[in-house]
Amino acid sequence: MKKITILLLLCIGIQAVTAQQKTYGIYFPKRDRQTKCNYFLQAFQQKPKEIRFGIKTEGNNLYFEINDKRWLDQLFKKTGDGIAVDVVSKKRYSCNQLVADTQIRGTLLPPVYAMQLKRKLKKARQNNYRVWVGKIPENLKEEDLEFNILFLQNKSLCQYYNIYNLQAYAWDLLDMGVYLDSLTYKNQKITTVQEKIVTKYKTLKFTIPFEKNKAEYKPEDIKPMYDSLRLTNFNIKTIEIKAYASVEGSVERNIKLQEQRATSIANSLQSFQQPSIATTVSSSENWVEFLNDIKNTSFATLIPLSKKETKAKLVGSLAQQIEPILKHHRKAVVTLSLEKKDKYKKLTVEELVNRFNTAIQSDDIAEATAIQNSILAKVRETLSPDALTQMNIPKQKKYITLLTKNSMVKYLMNISQTLIVQNELLALEKLDPKNKRIQYNLAVLKFIIWRNKAGKINKEKFKKEIIALKNVGIPQVLIDRMLVNYHIIKAQEDLQSRKYDEKDESVEFILDTYENFPLSNYDYLSLAQFLTYYSNIYDAIEVLEDKVKEITVDEDLLFYYLNLTLTNRDLVKTAAYKTTVLNAINMNPKRFCAIFNPSLEGGVTFQLLENIELRVLYCESCTQQP
């Protein structure tokens, strides 16, 4: 798992205060809020979205922490301006009781006012500042807690902030690939630590239907897959099988049946080659397509029901009536990643190098290319580049592709070789100045150098070089992808220099351009995380919203989308959103339930359970209820 960083996001909410709660003389405005909170409201409206703040704990002590001291100094003008903390316990959301509609959700601590806030504000980690704002009450120390912030102007409540925690993956540039024989991408997956570099030659995807209560598939249903494999010159690299059961009946029975179905497919595919193929299998009930398919039918009355209530209805005559819909939901989606067959696979690296050098001496470039590909595959697997130095390739234009591939593989294996590989390509460029592979690869290397601050980059000149790649035959879709990456790095630099307007222009370009080219799941998450990092939350949601409608959506993408949207009360009420949540529960119920852990302990926030729709799904699906 890539190192996870924590991004604190803020959600505003105002309700009615409890009569019994001690309020320390705080005034709760109603119709006069505009008057009582005039300069506070203006300060929050004009607050740069890059400013972040929250509550940190050390033992029983609570600290208010912020990343911009100047904004805080400008906010607190009068002696009655300050902060109070509302300590909220998860017990408030017990599934066997109603949640009271109150403004103060827990125990309110005494306010800390402007003089103390400014005088005791100290430098904390990195560029953050913090000040002590209270202690956890003795009677709450053993409970699951969260800490909301009341911002006070002249002792009047002007903003009530519920802080929630969004787990954020370290975002990356969009994968540009490199040119070897053809464009070769990193096969990056969202949750891995170190990514192997492979060439994704081909991917095949098939959907195999199953009959009710049967684990066997019909021969005619799997024949297209068999025919494709027989006709291709590829081996199966990996198999991914996602098996789906229709929603009626026992969950345990449905999952067991789907696992049997998936296993039968995997065993059949394994018969095509040796050794065994790396296979991943997942099984779940198909709530996504069920809820989507009954939307405009007489069965739409089932949509608001819980899963348990829906299953109770799907018996007898109703089950027979709805069977024409359900029969389409029993299936397996099989994705095969293929790699080209290697006729030299059984030879050692030493044998291959000898054959390669012989082919070069005979000027048989086609044979040399095939052997080189086999060598490079072995080199990448062993992470040992020694064989490359034993390959005798003349520095001539006709061997330029062979020379370029050997250089770029060193970069793919070890990013620290970037500057060395760049010098090698610059030397090759003199042999073939208009070679598109060399020009494209040089641009990729320059991105790495810029991103890692390994050398000086003239941004305007580099941008012109990217655009000029069209003159050597690079497709516009690849140029657009590079331009998005250009603005990703530029936005980061502009933010650090507090050039907010220029940063926003880069973000706007990215939003206008990213749909011009295909994105992998890894790219989607990187792009959404980039936008979230720069507080463009709604744009990040828009990037993902079409992807999460797919039943085969990547799990990390789906849960990231949930983290971005769970606080949107209007969206959560919709039937489409319920479908999305049920898909997440089916994929990984433990992970779904963890969303409602305390925000300082890895959850988003248990205060999401203020929402009745989420409470119903949580109490129905999570075994460890509050």
pLDDT in tens, 457-473: 999 999 999 999 999 99
Same domain, 524 and 614: yes
Q: Is residue 573 domain-shared with residue 613, that is, in the same domain?
A: yes
In terms of residue numbers, what domain contains 27?
4-169
Residue 261: closest CA among 218, 202, 230: 218
pLDDT tens digits, 189-215: 443 223 333 333 467 788 888 888 877
**227 pLDDT band (50/70/90 cuts)?**
confident
Tell which of 340, 367, 382 closes a domain: 340
Per-residue model confidence (pLDDT) at position 332: 85
Whole-number average pLDDT of the chain:
85
**Could you tell me if 491 and 607 lie in one domain?**
yes
For residue 285, pLDDT over 70 is answered with: yes
What would the pLDDT profile of 301-310 be if each residue is shown by its tens digit? 999 888 889 9
Shared-domain flag, residues 155 and 233: no
Identify the weakest region by mean pLDDT among 83-92, 392-401, 482-491, 526-535.
526-535
Whether 363 is in a domain gets the answer no
Please check whether residue 536 lies inside any domain of the structure: yes
Residue bearing the bigger pLDDT, 554 or 464: 464
Q: CA 88 to CA 86: how far, in whole Å?
A: 6
Number of compact structural domains in the chain: 3
Q: Which of 13-27, 58-72, 383-397, 517-531 has the lowest mean pLDDT?
A: 13-27
Considering the domain boundaries, does residue 207 fall inside one? yes
On the question of pLDDT at 260 being above 90, the answer is no
Confidence class for position 230, pLDDT limits 50, 70, 90: low
Residue 204: predicted pLDDT: 79
Name the H helices within 414-534.
418-431, 436-451, 459-468, 476-496, 500-513, 521-533
**Looking at the domain assignment, is residue 376 inside a domain?**
no
Q: Which helix (H) or strand (E) holds 310?
A: helix 307-313
pLDDT value, residue 61: 96
In a domain, 149, yes or no: yes
pLDDT (0 to 100) of residue 110? 96
Same domain (yes/no): 555, 600? yes
The C-alpha atoms of residue 464 and residue 442 are separated, in whole angstroms, by: 14
Same domain, 506 and 592: yes
- Same structural domain for residues 471 and 578? yes
What's the whole-number mean pLDDT along residues 215-223?
73
CATH number at residue 241: 3.30.1330.60
- Would you say residue 613 lies in a domain? yes
CA distance 493 to 319: 59
97-146 per-position pLDDT tens digit: 888 888 899 999 999 999 999 999 998 877 799 999 999 999 999 999 99
| pLDDT of the residue at 197 | 32
Identify the CATH number of the domain in which residue 456 sits.
1.25.40
How would you classify the pairing of strands 53-58 and 61-66? antiparallel
CA proximity to 400, closest of 374, 428, 426: 428
Same domain as 276, residue 151:
no
143 shares its domain with 261: no
pLDDT at 444 over 90: yes
The residue among 128, 153, 169 that closes a domain is: 169
How high is the pLDDT of residue 552?
Answer: 80
Task: Tell me what pLDDT residue 16 has.
Answer: 45
**pLDDT for residue 18 is more than 50:** no
pLDDT at 564: 85
Give the distance from CA 482 to its chain's centroid: 20
374 pLDDT more than 80: yes
* Residue scoring higher pLDDT (492 or 224): 492
User: Both 28 and 164 in a single domain?
Assistant: yes
Classify residue 183: in a domain, yes or no: no
What pLDDT does 155 receive? 95
pLDDT given at position 147: 95
Q: In what order do the strands lie in the sheet with 331-340?
A: 202-209, 331-340, 234-245, 278-285
348 located within any domain: no
**Same domain? 164 vs 249:** no
* One-character DSSP codes across 116-132: HHHHH-EE-STT-EEEE
Of residues 9 and 348, the one with the higher pLDDT is: 348
Give the pLDDT of residue 202: 65
Average pLDDT of the segment spanning 227-247: 79
Give the pLDDT confidence score for residue 466 in this predicted structure: 97
Choice among 97-106, 477-486, 528-537, 555-564 with the minimum mean pLDDT = 528-537
- Domain boundary pick from 169, 189, 222: 169
pLDDT of residue 172: 80
Residues 522 and 600 in one domain: yes
* CA distance linking residue 441 with residue 437, whole number of Å: 6
pLDDT for res 394 = 94
* Per-residue pLDDT at 233 exceeds 80: no
Indicate the pTM of the whole model: 0.73
Which of the 8 DSSP states describes residue 27?
Answer: B
What is the average pLDDT across 516-536?
Answer: 85
The 61-66 sheet, strands edge to edge: 53-58, 61-66, 129-135, 122-123
pLDDT exceeds 90 at position 446? yes
- By mean pLDDT, which of 14-18, 227-231, 320-324 is the weakest? 14-18
25-38: average pLDDT: 91
Burial of 181 (0-12, 13-18, 19+ CB in 10 A): middle
Alpha-carbon span 404 to 444, nearest angstrom:
13
Looking at residue 190, what is its pLDDT?
43
